[in-house]
């Protein structure tokens, strides 16, 4: 079976409906009520921002794959930038044709043109295929990205502070302190324990 050629280009407003369909079919919707108009607005913002690009891959003028790219700081103590790729998705009916490889190749080319030395790929923890894809390409885990709703986190912080103030966590804290002490003793002079 011959593979159809993938054409890669920047996304435009008229791609919004198909982008939404890919998000739905790959179970990658950032919010359940995301509309095509929301996607059009995001594409418009990307078009106005030199540090952001949204590429789509087309076969016979039909959008079958996509990737979002953004230049981000490597960290707070340097001006160096990295390229963050996200939403690297291929429509389920068009998988196993190398389209994700081609889109990521386009991302690498853009990074090189921008003088970027580091590329990060982010995929939701439940999207196993994307995480495996990045791992196969030698992209190791560099951080643990955790997420919570603002209100939920505010409540949890208050509850933790309250339990700490009342001494309800005293036994847990004592156990953790004991474990840290044991690790330090086991490490001897090899350096401080990581807790």
Q: What residues contact 158, with CB distance under 8 A and at least 6 apart?
A: none
Does the pTM of the predicted model rise above 0.85? no
pLDDT digits (tens, 9 = 90+) for 70-115: 999 998 999 999 999 999 999 999 999 999 999 999 999 999 999 9
Long-range contacts from 48-51, C-beta under 8 angstroms, 24+ separation: none
pLDDT digits (tens, 9 = 90+) for 43-68: 999 999 999 999 999 999 999 999 99
Report whether 12 contacts 40 (CB < 8 A): no
């Amino acid at each position: 079976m011959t593979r159809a050629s993938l054409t890669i280009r920047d996304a435009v407003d008229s791609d919004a409906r198909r982008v939404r369909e890919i998000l739905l079919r790959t179970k990658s919707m950032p919010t359940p009520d995301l509309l095509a108009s929301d996607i059009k607005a995001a594409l418009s913002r990307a078009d106005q921002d030199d540090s952001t690009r949204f590429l789509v891959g087309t076969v016979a003028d039909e959008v079958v794959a996509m990737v979002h790219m953004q230049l981000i700081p490597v960290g707070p103590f340097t001006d160096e930038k990295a390229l963050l790729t996200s939403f690297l998705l291929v429509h389920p009916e068009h998988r196993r044709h190398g389209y994700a490889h081609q889109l990521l190749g386009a991302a690498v080319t853009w990074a090189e043109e921008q003088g970027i030395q580091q590329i990060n790929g982010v995929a939701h923890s439940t999207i196993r295929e994307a995480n495996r894809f990045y791992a196969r390409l030698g992209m190791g885990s560099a951080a643990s990205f955790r997420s919570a709703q603002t209100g939920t986190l505010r409540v949890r912080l208050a509850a933790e502070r309250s339990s700490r103030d009342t001494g309800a966590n005293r036994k847990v804290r004592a156990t953790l302190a004991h474990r840290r002490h044991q690790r330090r003793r086991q490490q001897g002079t090899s350096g401080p324990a990581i807790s």
